[in-house]
Structure 1
Amino acid sequence: MTVRTTELGLVMRYFSKRYKKKINSLLHLAKINDLPLSVVLDALKGRSDIKQDKRNKRHNGECIVWNEVDIRHSTVAFPLETLNGKRLNSLAACFTLEQFHVLEEHYGQCPKNIATKVIDVLSTK
């Protein structure tokens, strides 16, 4: 399969225009929000990751990985994964004891040793 140079030039020009238009729109977005371009790109990547997580949750279901609790100051976060075992980019976070109990109702009981640590941290507010 051979491509003539004129056809290749037209194809490259088409992609270059699309690429230039996309970059210019991102630069404009960064400028009007007074942000660096890297922050805008990171936000778009994060949005894409969240959408993918939602699709994975809807298709496969989700559960909490209780053993990998992250306790910082008066906040507790648990990573989420699909029922197939694929790690999601989302976290389940608790700021109050009531939120922790709601998580337990929704996802099942937390192991006792972890639950006592979490309850100690969240009840000392």
Structure 2
Amino acid sequence: MMMMMMMMMMRRRRRIMMMMYYIYNRFIKNHKHLIEMAGQSDPHPSLFSAEEIEFMGEDEMIEFVPNMRMEPLNLISGDYGPFFPQMVTQVPLWLEIALKKRGKCAIRPPSWMSIEMSIQPKEKDLLETLAT
């Protein structure tokens, strides 16, 4: 029982790290002009610390399935909701994590986090390596 819980925690941690890596790469691609303006010509992962990447990634919109009915949330960052049980809704990652900790929703992983999507780049790299 304890071993299963540890494995679930490790999988969840790995999913979150994959999500953060994807969000960071998307951020770099979308904001390359800002990096160049700051005097950095080559956007490498060393530009930001892990904490900064995590902070930027928490604003990524994620789909989730609420377990409760709740009126819209009017926050500084925007309005989210209303929430209805079993109806897919998009909220930022930070809000989804807060609701998940309270047991008020279920996580719905993004499509790019599927096994098929993670295998494709590996197969592509293998084919490129074999072609050379």
Question: Highest CA radius of gyration, 1 or 2?
Answer: 1
Higher relative contact order (CA 8 A, sep 6+): 2
The structure with the largest helix share of the pair is 1
- TM (normalized to structure 2)? 0.27
- TM (normalized to structure 1)? 0.28
